[in-house]
Chain A
Amino acid sequence: MTDSLSIQNVTYKRGMKTILHDANLTLAPGKIVGLLGENGAGKTTLMRLITGSAKGAGDITVNGDAAEADRKRHVSFSEQLRGFAGNTKLTRIVDFYETVYGDFEAERFTELATFLQIDTSLKLAALSKGMKEKLVIALTLARRTNLYLLDEPFSGIDSMSRKKIINSIIQWKPENATMVISDHYVSEIAPILDEIVIVKDQTIYAHRQADEVREEFHIGIEAYYESLYERGNDND
Chain B
Amino acid sequence: MHFDDKIPIYYQIKNHIYHEIITGTLQPGEKLPSVRQLAVDVTANVNTVQRALSEMIAAGIIESKRGRGNFVTMETTKITDLKTQLVTTQLAHVYQQLHALNLSDEEILTSVQHYIERKGQAK
Contact = CB atoms under 8 A, between A and B. Distances in A.
Interface of A: 30-32, 163, 166-167, 170-171, 173, 175, 187, 190-194, 210-211, 214-215, 218-223
A154 to B, nearest CB: 14
25 contacts: A31-B47, A32-B47, A166-B43, A167-B43, A170-B36, A170-B40, A170-B43, A171-B40, A187-B5, A190-B3, A190-B5, A191-B3, A191-B9, A191-B44, A192-B43, A193-B45, A194-B45, A211-B10, A214-B5, A214-B6, A214-B8, A214-B9, A220-B4, A220-B5, A223-B6
Contacts of A170: 36, 39-40, 43-46
Contacts of B39: 170
Interface residues of B, number: 19
B43 A171 contact: no
B40 A167 contact: yes
Interface in B59-84: none
A190 B5 CA distance: 7
A194 B5 contact: no
B33 to A, nearest CB: 13
A175 B3 CA distance: 23
A173 B11 CA distance: 23
Q: Please classify the interface of chain A as helix (H, G, I), strand (E, B), loop, or mixed, using the class held by over half of its residues.
A: helix
B48 interface: yes
Nearest to B35: A175
Interface of B: 3-11, 36, 39-40, 43-48, 51
Contacts, number: 58
A91 to B, nearest CB: 28
A192 B5 contact: no
A194 B40 contact: no
A211 B9 contact: yes
Nearest to B7: A214
B45 A32 contact: yes
Contact of A210 (B9, B40, B46): B9
A212 to B, nearest CB: 8
B78 to A, nearest CB: 26
Contacts of A30: 47
A191 B40 contact: no
Nearest to A163: B43
6 shortest A-B CB distances, which residue pairs? A220-B5, A211-B8, A214-B8, A191-B3, A192-B45, A220-B6
A210 B47 CA distance: 12
Given A170-B36, A171-B36, A211-B48, A191 B43 contact: yes
A100 B80 CA distance: 58
Q: Which of B5, B9, B43 has most chain A Cβ within 10 Å? A: B5
A173 B44 CA distance: 13
Nearest to A192: B45
B93 to A, nearest CB: 15
A187 B6 CA distance: 11
Contacts of B44: 170, 191-192
A221 B5 CA distance: 7
A173 B36 CA distance: 10
A215 B6 CA distance: 8
B5 A222 contact: yes
